[in-house]
Structure 1
Amino acid sequence: MDVLPRVYLTAPNSDTEQRVLAHWFTQHPDPAGAPPESVEITDASFADLARRDDDPLITPLRVVWLPGEHDGRGARHLRELLSPRDPLHPATATQRRLLRTEPDRCVVLEGTPARLSDLRRRLENTGGGSLPDYIRRQAALTLERAERTVLGTQYKVSRFVVDEITDSNRFSEGIRALAARLGMTVADADRQARGALEEMVAAQSRRAIALWDQLGRYFSRAYRLDLDAERFDELRELNKEHSLVFLPSHRSYLDPLVLRPALVAGGLPLNHVMGGLNVSFWPIGPISKRSGTVFIRRKMEGDEVYKWTLREYMRYLLTKRFNLEWYIEGGRSRTGKLRPPRYGLLTYLAKAFRSSQVPDVYLVPVSITYDQLYEVSAMAAEAHGQIKQKEGLRWLVGYVRAQGRRRGVAHVTVGRPLSLAESLGTESDHDDRLRLAIQKTAFEVCHRINEVTPVTASSLVMLAFLGIEDRALTVPELGALLGPMVDYITSRSLPTAGDVDLTNPQVIRSALITHVDSGVLRRFDKGTERVYYLGSDQHLVAAFYRNNIIHFLVVRAIAEMVLQAAVDERFTDPVVDGWAEALRIRDLLKFEFFFSDKDTFREELRRELDLIEPQWSKALTDPRHADRMLAEVQPYLGHRVLQPFLEAYGVVADQLLRVPANRQFDEKAFMTGALALAEQRRLRQQIASSESISAELFATALAVARNRDLVDPGGDDLIARRVEFATEVRVLIDRVHRIRALAHQSLDLVEGLRVEPGA
Structure 2
Amino acid sequence: MKVIRFIEKAVSSLRTLIKNLLQATQATIRSRIRHIPQALPKRRHEIIGDILERATHQDTLHELSRESGIPLDHLEETFQRYLREIAADLNYMTVPFWELLVTWVFGAIYEGYEVDRASLDKIREINRQRPIIFAANHRSHMDYLLISYILYRHHIPMPHVCAGANLSFWPMGWLFRKGGGFFIRRSYDGNKLYAYAVQAYIEELLRDRANVEFFIEGTRSRTGKLLPPRMGILSAIVQATINGAADDLLIVPTAVTYESVLEEKSYLQEQSGGVKKNESLWDLFRLQKYLRRRKGKVYIEFGEPISLQEFADQDFQDKKKEKIEDLAFEITYGINKATVVTPASLVATALLTHDRRSLSEEALNQKIEKYLDYLRFKECRLSEPLQRYQGNAIREALKYCVRNHWIEAYQDGGGLYRVKEECRPLIDYYKNTSISFFVSMGVLTTILIASKTDVVSLSQIEGDYQFLQNLLRYEFTFSWRRPLGEHLERLTNWTTLQTLPLLKDRRWESKNLIDFIQNQGKLLFAKEEISHLESVNKFTIENALRAFRDLGLVSEEKEGVGKKKRIFYRVEPGSNQLPKTQANRSTLLKLLVKN
Q: Is 1:274 matched with 2:162?
A: yes
Q: Is 1:718 matched with 2:578?
A: no
Bigger Cα Rg: 1
Distance change >3 Å, CA 173–CA 428, structure 1 → 2:
farther
Q: Give 1:257 shift.
A: 2.2
Q: What pairs with 1:526-537 in structure 2 (closer than 5 Å)?
A: 527-537=412-422
What do the CA deviations read for 1:655-677 (whole angstroms, capped 9, x no partner)? 2211224x434323211210110
CA distance in 2, matches of 1:295, 1:669: 31
Q: Give 1:714 shift.
A: 8.4
Q: Which residue of 2 aligns with 1:386?
A: 274
CA distance in 2, matches of 1:379, 1:397: 19
Q: Is 1:210 matched with 2:210?
A: no
CA distance in 1, matches of 2:147, 2:534: 30
Q: Which amino acid aligns with 2:416?
A: V
Q: Is 1:375 matched with 2:219?
A: no
Q: Which residue of 2 aligns with 1:659?
A: 503
Partner SS for 1:421 = helix
Q: Give 1:385 shift.
A: 0.9
Q: Give 1:387 shift.
A: 1.8
Partner SS for 1:247 = strand
CA distance in 2, matches of 1:358, 1:318: 6
Q: Give 1:475 shift.
A: 1.9
Q: Give 1:350 shift.
A: 1.6
Q: Which residue of 2 aligns with 1:167?
A: 53
Q: Which amino acid aligns with 2:256?
A: I
Distance change >3 Å, CA 356–CA 63, structure 1 → 2:
farther
CA distance in 2, matches of 1:539, 1:16: 65
Q: Which residue of 2 aligns with 1:733?
A: 592
Q: Give 1:64 shift.
A: 6.8
Q: Give 1:170 shift.
A: 3.2
- Tell me the TM-score normalized by structure 1: 0.69
Residue pair 2:450, 2:590 contacting (<8 A) in 1 also: no
Distance change >3 Å, CA 563–CA 19, structure 1 → 2:
closer
Distance change >3 Å, CA 332–CA 13, structure 1 → 2:
farther
Q: Is there any run of 5+ residues in structure 1 with no aligned partner, and where?
A: 1-11, 21-61, 69-86, 89-104, 106-146, 606-637, 739-759
Q: What pairs with 1:304-453 in structure 2 (closer than 5 Å)?
A: 304-427=192-315, 431=318, 433-453=319-339
Residue pair 1:329, 1:339 contacting (<8 A) in 2 also: yes
What do the CA deviations read for 1:228-286 (whole angstroms, capped 9, x no partner)? 22222322222223221111111111112221222123321111111111111121112
Residue pair 2:258, 2:297 contacting (<8 A) in 1 also: yes
Higher relative contact order (CA 8 A, sep 6+): 2
Q: Which amino acid aligns with 1:278?
A: N
Q: Is 1:295 matched with 2:183?
A: yes
Give 1:231's match in structure 2, choosing from 95, 111, 119: 119
CA distance in 2, matches of 1:16, 1:211: 24
Q: Which residue of 1 aligns with 2:134?
A: 246
Q: Is there any run of 5+ residues in structure 2 with no aligned partner, and where?
A: 1-12, 556-569
Q: Give 1:215 shift.
A: 2.7
Distance change >3 Å, CA 154–CA 291, structure 1 → 2:
farther
Residue pair 1:220, 1:257 contacting (<8 A) in 2 also: no
Q: Which residue of 2 aligns with 1:677?
A: 520
Q: Give 1:434 shift.
A: 0.8
Residue pair 1:591, 1:703 contacting (<8 A) in 2 also: yes
Q: Give 1:206 shift.
A: 3.8
Residue pair 2:206, 2:245 contacting (<8 A) in 1 also: no
Distance change >3 Å, CA 714–CA 683, structure 1 → 2:
closer
Distance change >3 Å, CA 699–CA 715, structure 1 → 2:
closer
Q: Is 1:583 matched with 2:583?
A: no
Q: Give 1:18 shift.
A: 6.9
What do the CA deviations read for 1:119-153 (whole angstroms, capped 9, x no partner)? xxxxxxxxxxxxxxxxxxxxxxxxxxxx99x9533
Q: Which amino acid aligns with 1:283?
A: P
Give 2:438's match in structure 1, choosing from 553, 562, 566: 553
Q: Is 1:456 matched with 2:457?
A: no
Q: Which residue of 1 aligns with 2:530?
A: 687
Q: Give 1:324 shift.
A: 0.9
Residue pair 2:504, 2:573 contacting (<8 A) in 1 also: no
CA distance in 1, matches of 2:166, 2:85: 14
Q: Is 1:647 matched with 2:491?
A: yes
CA distance in 1, matches of 2:339, 2:345: 11
Give 2:75's match in structure 1, choosing from 178, 189, 206: 189
Residue pair 2:504, 2:571 contacting (<8 A) in 1 also: no
Q: Which amino acid aligns with 1:529?
A: G
Residue pair 1:365, 1:448 contacting (<8 A) in 2 also: yes
CA distance in 1, matches of 2:302, 2:450: 39
CA distance in 1, matches of 2:294, 2:50: 46
CA distance in 2, matches of 1:202, 1:658: 51
Residue pair 1:202, 1:293 contacting (<8 A) in 2 also: yes
Distance change >3 Å, CA 504–CA 710, structure 1 → 2:
closer
Residue pair 2:36, 2:92 contacting (<8 A) in 1 also: no
Residue pair 1:274, 1:325 contacting (<8 A) in 2 also: yes
Residue pair 1:452, 1:495 contacting (<8 A) in 2 also: yes
Q: Give 1:190 shift.
A: 1.4
Q: Give 1:535 shift.
A: 2.6
Q: Which residue of 2 aligns with 1:539?
A: 424
Residue pair 1:464, 1:481 contacting (<8 A) in 2 also: yes
Distance change >3 Å, CA 503–CA 163, structure 1 → 2:
closer
Partner SS for 1:688 = coil
What do the CA deviations read for 1:583-605 (whole angstroms, capped 9, x no partner)? 232232222222333x722xx58
What root-mean-square deviation, in Å, do the aligned CA atoms of Structure 1 and Structure 2 show?
A: 2.8
CA distance in 2, matches of 1:170, 1:186: 15
Q: Give 1:686 shift.
A: 1.4
Q: Which residue of 2 aligns with 1:92?
A: none
Partner SS for 2:357 = coil
Residue pair 2:254, 2:303 contacting (<8 A) in 1 also: yes
What do the CA deviations read for 1:140-170 (whole angstroms, capped 9, x no partner)? xxxxxxx99x953399431222222212333
Distance change >3 Å, CA 155–CA 373, structure 1 → 2:
farther
Q: Which amino acid aligns with 2:429?
A: F
Identify which range, 705-714 or 310-319, moves more after superposition.
705-714
CA distance in 2, matches of 1:728, 1:178: 50
Identify which range, 207-216 or 380-389, moves more after superposition.
207-216
Residue pair 2:450, 2:591 contacting (<8 A) in 1 also: no
Q: Give 1:715 shift.
A: 6.8
Distance change >3 Å, CA 175–CA 579, structure 1 → 2:
closer
Q: Which amino acid aligns with 1:654?
A: Q
CA distance in 2, matches of 1:540, 1:267: 40
Q: Give 1:185 shift.
A: 2.4
Partner SS for 2:507 = coil
Q: Which amino acid aligns with 1:683?
A: A
CA distance in 2, matches of 1:291, 1:155: 16
CA distance in 2, matches of 1:285, 1:664: 41
Q: Which amino acid aligns with 2:497?
A: A
Q: Which amino acid aligns with 2:290?
A: A
CA distance in 2, matches of 1:309, 1:13: 45
Residue pair 1:359, 1:421 contacting (<8 A) in 2 also: no
Q: Is 1:158 matched with 2:159?
A: no
Residue pair 1:156, 1:270 contacting (<8 A) in 2 also: no
What do the CA deviations read for 1:300-337 (whole angstroms, capped 9, x no partner)? 12221111121111111000001111111011111111
Q: Which amino acid aligns with 1:600?
A: R
Q: Which residue of 2 aligns with 1:611?
A: none
Distance change >3 Å, CA 439–CA 350, structure 1 → 2:
same
Residue pair 1:250, 1:331 contacting (<8 A) in 2 also: yes
CA distance in 2, matches of 1:728, 1:534: 33
